[in-house]
């Protein structure tokens, strides 16, 4: 389109009141006093969506949307006076304990996906990907800028989101104008109320359908981005050093096409994983912050139940198959994405370092999706090669989704095919979820998952278990109050039924819960849970199943208001566990905010009970009298405008005294005499991190990490002979891991 025709189209759009194609310079200072803003019509009608009264307010929020050749500007004025608002700095993607604005942006305007941008009063920011199934992936980080400003009677924010931030199809009409979806929200910290520019939240199936639309002229644009990075790591225990370099390269011929290439893409995983005291047969699922693996993840997303997924990117670069490396270097990775009005296509390939033993792995994925209005369907194929163990794994998933104002439907059919040491294994799985929204405050969901015994996608994906049938139904109903004390009561009834794929009944959960939102901003909840009798067949070590009795449990929770310099939350749980045990559980979380730039979090968890069941060996089960305590401490703050400091310390102590040891038989548990499997598990993770922000995808990190793990088997009388504080002192003095890491990246 020529510049003259574009100017004519812009004028027509402006006369129609549909959008503004700004040419004036915008200074991103949060004040909204630039000349360009004056000609943009404001949205002043905002609706209370939490609680979902849908009451219209015109004195809460005012928003303006402006499009330019470079991207989208969102200006928001929040009419909160000093003393009625909370200002607090939070690290990127951290919990924001302040008033904040949410911006949902659907670049294609068709509900094929959206992106979330959060601006907190005080400097906290978050960004995330919103999938077509309305789930949120917070690992994604984008290139965008924001600023806020404070006045006596309001605070305001200006946010700029460039067109090149994401890949999307630019859907144009005959005038070369596009339509994008933009939803704006204000979270009011003092009472936990949420005000939005339309009457839906992501809890509503019709969120995309009702999202306000903005007309814009999006210019064709190509972009090249090059982000090199350098890492220096010094192991203080072995006194060895490692230098590493890599880069991310991105080429976008236009908004709907993107080619990404990465060499040694490990930069983003800076933070240490939390302590994991997991002795169950269900693997802990970890997040992934490496930029290459978080970009365009919505294109490859296949939504199944119980976290079942064909692509879990933490598999890539994980421990080597010869067990010599906890982290396997990645030689190179490439990804291509193309989107049209109705079709999406994506493919990626990743090659790990072969190492000396040929223990590196290769990963491939191919994705295609078709979309038509409120319905979409797609196919995902994956392939993994593991030459060291002579294993090749293939998987395929066909997923579909439908959404309307009241109905939502998701279905997935899955197939896995594994060849290992010349043996072949094929399995199938399926999931189906149906939801109906009776009103803004009442909805019902029913879901069903079935995975046969041969189904396995763990080479690249994630499953909690196979040989599983899981049905679940949930009814949720909220009652809103106009009173000085209670704002809303939300009640949920959850009923589930589980069996293995042979139809043998497993323990299943029934639960009633009530959540009370107080007008002070505090929150109170309670739950009553019943776990039915059934066969337990997933204890680990390929053990046989055994019959487990039913159990009851109850939990109460209270959280204070977030306002002020101190807030806290506490919970108490009393439940039956194991074969005949009783457990009590306490949690206490404390948050101190001595200054608007600094936050101190102290979280404590304690559980004590005499019915903890774990498998110690094949067909051997132990019931323990155990105590576990986890303490987590965080200090985060900002030293200068661009320099952030964070300190993290987590330690855990698990003390397990043998109560009874059984041999597992399908007919009965046979108690074994004179066996003592008592043990202690003590762990510590500590990290001090300095981050200097140079700009988008440009940072300098200096990180000191220290960690220790000590697992000891011992006689029952020796368990808990050392105090917890003494245990922490010993762990700190005898670390298994201690290193200093310097990482630098700069985006061109």
In a domain, 237, yes or no: no
Model confidence at 623: pLDDT above 60? yes
Confidence at residue 174, expressed as pLDDT on a 0 to 100 scale: 52
Question: Do residues 210 and 300 both lie within one domain?
Answer: no
Confidence at residue 134, expressed as pLDDT on a 0 to 100 scale: 84
Instruction: Give the pLDDT band (50/70/90) at residue 11.
Output: very low
| Residue where a domain stops, chosen among 395, 426, 457 | 426
pLDDT tens-digit readout, 588-603: 999 999 999 999 999 9
Which residues lie below 8 Å from residue 181, measured CB to CB, with a gap of 6+? 104, 105, 106, 109, 111, 114, 208, 211, 212, 213, 214
> Is the previous residue joined to 667 through a cis bond, with omega within 30 degrees of 0?
no
Mean pLDDT of 733-742: 95
- The count of C-alpha atoms lying within 13 angstroms of the C-alpha of 142, restricted to the half-sphere facing its C-beta, is 27
Confidence at residue 13, expressed as pLDDT on a 0 to 100 scale: 43
Cα(427)–Cα(697) distance, integer angstroms = 41
Confidence at residue 133, expressed as pLDDT on a 0 to 100 scale: 80
In a domain, 137, yes or no: yes
Model confidence at 121: pLDDT above 70? yes
Confidence at residue 8, expressed as pLDDT on a 0 to 100 scale: 46
Label residue 113 left, alpha or beta by phi (over 0 means left) and psi (-120 to 50 means alpha).
left
Confidence at residue 405, expressed as pLDDT on a 0 to 100 scale: 85
Instruction: Give the pLDDT band (50/70/90) at residue 295.
Output: confident
In a domain, 504, yes or no: no
Q: What pTM was computed for the model? A: 0.91
Confidence at residue 110, expressed as pLDDT on a 0 to 100 scale: 86
Mean pLDDT of 675-703: 95
Question: Do residues 206 and 337 both lie within one domain?
Answer: no
Confidence at residue 5, expressed as pLDDT on a 0 to 100 scale: 45
In a domain, 122, yes or no: yes
Question: Do residues 197 and 342 both lie within one domain?
Answer: no
Cα(372)–Cα(703) distance, integer angstroms = 48
Instruction: Give the pLDDT band (50/70/90) at residue 24.
Output: low
Mean pLDDT of 129-148: 89
Helices (H), 513-571: none
Cα(134)–Cα(116) distance, integer angstroms = 11
Question: Do residues 216 and 300 both lie within one domain?
Answer: no
Confidence at residue 175, expressed as pLDDT on a 0 to 100 scale: 62
Total Cβ atoms within 10 A of residue 712: 11
In a domain, 519, yes or no: no
Confidence at residue 269, expressed as pLDDT on a 0 to 100 scale: 60
Model confidence at 6: pLDDT above 60? no
Model confidence at 303: pLDDT above 90? no
- Range picked from 177-181, 373-377, 507-511 for highest mean pLDDT: 507-511
pLDDT tens-digit readout, 44-73: 999 999 999 999 999 999 999 999 889 999
Model confidence at 191: pLDDT above 70? yes
In a domain, 549, yes or no: yes
Question: Do residues 214 and 318 both lie within one domain?
Answer: no
Confidence at residue 590, expressed as pLDDT on a 0 to 100 scale: 98
Give percent above pLDDT 70 in the chain.
96
Total structural domains within the chain: 3
The SS3 call for residue 7 is helix
Question: Do residues 547 and 679 both lie within one domain?
Answer: yes
| Residue where a domain stops, chosen among 377, 403, 426 | 426
Question: Do residues 338 and 204 both lie within one domain?
Answer: no
In a domain, 285, yes or no: no
Confidence at residue 603, expressed as pLDDT on a 0 to 100 scale: 98
Confidence at residue 422, expressed as pLDDT on a 0 to 100 scale: 86
Question: Do residues 216 and 77 both lie within one domain?
Answer: yes
Encoded tokens for 482: 């106009």
Model confidence at 128: pLDDT above 80? yes
Mean pLDDT of 710-717: 95
Confidence at residue 23, expressed as pLDDT on a 0 to 100 scale: 55
Cα(545)–Cα(543) distance, integer angstroms = 7
Give percent above pLDDT 90 in the chain.
80
Question: Do residues 697 and 577 both lie within one domain?
Answer: yes
Question: Do residues 204 and 329 both lie within one domain?
Answer: no
Question: Where is average pLDDT lowest: 116-125, 164-173, 247-256, 398-407?
Answer: 164-173
Question: Do residues 552 and 405 both lie within one domain?
Answer: no
Model confidence at 694: pLDDT above 50? yes
Mean pLDDT of 212-229: 89
Confidence at residue 2, expressed as pLDDT on a 0 to 100 scale: 45
Question: Do residues 338 and 214 both lie within one domain?
Answer: no
Model confidence at 626: pLDDT above 90? yes
Q: CA nearest 256: which of 211, 220, 297?
A: 220
DSSP-assigned letters across all residues of 271-295:
SPPPP----SSSPPP-----HHHHT
Give the DSSP H/E element, type plus range, for residue 397. strand 391-403
**What CA–CA distances, in Å, run from 19 to 68, 72, 587?**
10, 11, 50
Instruction: Give the pLDDT band (50/70/90) at residue 290.
Output: confident
In a domain, 308, yes or no: yes
Strands 581-595 and 566-577: antiparallel
Q: CA nearest 72: which of 216, 174, 280?
A: 216
pLDDT tens-digit readout, 398-430: 999 998 889 999 999 999 999 999 899 999 999
**What CA–CA distances, in Å, run from 482 to 138, 438, 479, 492?**
34, 22, 10, 21
Confidence at residue 15, expressed as pLDDT on a 0 to 100 scale: 41
Instruction: Give the pLDDT band (50/70/90) at residue 14.
Output: very low
Confidence at residue 61, expressed as pLDDT on a 0 to 100 scale: 97
Q: What is the CATH number of the domain that holds 185?
A: 2.60.40.1190
User: Looking at per-residue confidence, does 190 or 23 come out higher?
Assistant: 190
Mean pLDDT of 473-482: 96
| Residue where a domain stops, chosen among 426, 459, 491 | 426
Domain of residue 658 covers 536-748
Cβ–Cβ under 8 Å, residues 408 and 374: no
Model confidence at 341: pLDDT above 80? yes
């Amino acid at each position: 389109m020529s510049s003259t025709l574009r100017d004519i189209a812009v004028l027509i759009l402006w006369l129609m009141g549909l959008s503004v194609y700004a040419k004036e310079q915008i200074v991103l200072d949060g004040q909204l006093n630039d000349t360009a803003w004056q000609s943009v019509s404001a949205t002043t009608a905002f609706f209370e969506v939490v609680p979902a009264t849908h009451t219209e307010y015109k004195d809460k929020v005012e928003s303006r949307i402006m499009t330019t050749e470079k991207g989208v500007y969102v200006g928001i004025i929040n009419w909160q006076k000093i003393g009625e608002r909370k200002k607090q700095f939070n690290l990127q993607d951290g919990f924001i304990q302040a008033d904040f604005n949410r911006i949902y942006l659907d670049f294609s305007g068709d509900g094929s996906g959206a992106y979330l941008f959060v601006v907190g009063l005080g400097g906290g920011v978050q960004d995330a990907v919103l999938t077509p199934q309305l789930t949120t992936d917070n690992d994604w980080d984008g290139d965008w800028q924001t600023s806020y400003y404070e006045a006596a009677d309001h605070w305001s924010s200006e946010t700029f989101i460039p067109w090149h931030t994401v890949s999307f199809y630019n859907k144009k009409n005959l005038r070369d104008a596009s339509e994008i979806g933009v939803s704006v929200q204000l979270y009011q910290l003092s009472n936990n109320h949420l005000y939005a520019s339309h009457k839906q939240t992501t809890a509503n199936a019709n969120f995309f359908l009702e999202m306000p639309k903005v007309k814009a002229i999006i210019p064709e644009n190509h972009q090249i981005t090059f982000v090199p990075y350098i890492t220096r790591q010094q192991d203080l225990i072995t006194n060895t050093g490692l230098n590493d370099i890599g880069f991310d390269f991105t080429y976008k011929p236009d908004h709907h096409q993107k080619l990404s290439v990465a060499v040694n893409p490990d930069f983003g995983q800076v933070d240490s994983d939390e302590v994991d005291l997991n002795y169950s047969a269900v693997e802990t699922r970890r997040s992934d912050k490496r930029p290459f693996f978080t970009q365009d993840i919505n294109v490859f997303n296949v939504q199944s139940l119980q976290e079942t997924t064909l692509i879990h990117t933490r598999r890539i670069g994980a421990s080597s198959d010869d067990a010599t490396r906890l982290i396997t270097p990645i030689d190179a990775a490439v990804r291509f994405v193309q989107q049209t009005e109705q079709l999406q296509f994506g493919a990626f390939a990743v090659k790990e370092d072969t190492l000396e033993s040929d223990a590196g792995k290769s990963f491939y994925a191919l994705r295609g999706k078709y979309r038509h209005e409120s319905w979409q369907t797609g196919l995902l194929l994956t392939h993994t090669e593991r030459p060291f163990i002579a294993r090749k794994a293939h998987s395929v998933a066909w997923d579909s989704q439908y959404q309307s104002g009241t109905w939502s439907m998701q279905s997935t059919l899955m197939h896995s095919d594994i060849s290992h040491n010349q043996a072949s294994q094929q399995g199938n799985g399926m999931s189906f979820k149906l939801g109906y929204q009776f009103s803004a405050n009442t909805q019902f969901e029913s879901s069903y998952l079935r995975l046969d015994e041969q189904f396995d996608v763990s080479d690249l994906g994630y499953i909690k278990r196979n040989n599983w049938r899981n049905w679940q139904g949930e009814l949720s109903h909220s009652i809103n109050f106009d009173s000085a004390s209670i704002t809303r009561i939300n009640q949920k009834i959850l009923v589930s039924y589980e069996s293995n794929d042979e139809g043998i009944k497993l323990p299943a959960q029934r639960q009633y819960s009530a959540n009370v939102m107080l007008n002070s901003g505090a929150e109170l909840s309670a739950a009553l849970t019943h776990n039915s009798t059934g066969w337990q067949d997933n204890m680990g070590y390929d053990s046989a199943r055994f019959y487990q009795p039913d159990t009851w449990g109850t939990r109460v929770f209270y959280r204070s208001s977030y306002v002020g310099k101190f807030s806290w939350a506490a919970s108490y749980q009393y439940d039956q566990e194991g074969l005949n045990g009783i457990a009590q559980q306490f949690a206490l979380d404390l948050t101190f905010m001595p200054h608007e730039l600094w936050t101190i979090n102290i979280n404590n968890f304690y559980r004590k009970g005499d019915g903890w069941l774990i498998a110690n060996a094949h067909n051997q089960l132990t019931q323990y009298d155990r105590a576990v305590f986890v303490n987590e401490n965080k200090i985060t703050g900002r030293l200068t405008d661009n320099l952030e400091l964070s300190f993290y310390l987590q330690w855990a102590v698990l003390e397990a005294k043998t109560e009874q040891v059984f041999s597992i038989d399908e007919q009965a548990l046979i108690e074994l005499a004179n066996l003592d499997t008592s043990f202690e598990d003590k762990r510590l993770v500590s990290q001090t991190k300095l981050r200097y922000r140079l700009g988008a995808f440009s940072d300098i990190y200096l990180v000191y990490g220290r960690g220790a793990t000590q697992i000891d088997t011992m006689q029952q009388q020796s368990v808990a002979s050392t105090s917890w504080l003494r245990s922490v002192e010993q762990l700190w003095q005898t670390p298994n891991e201690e290193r200093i890491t310097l990482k630098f990246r700069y985006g061109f």
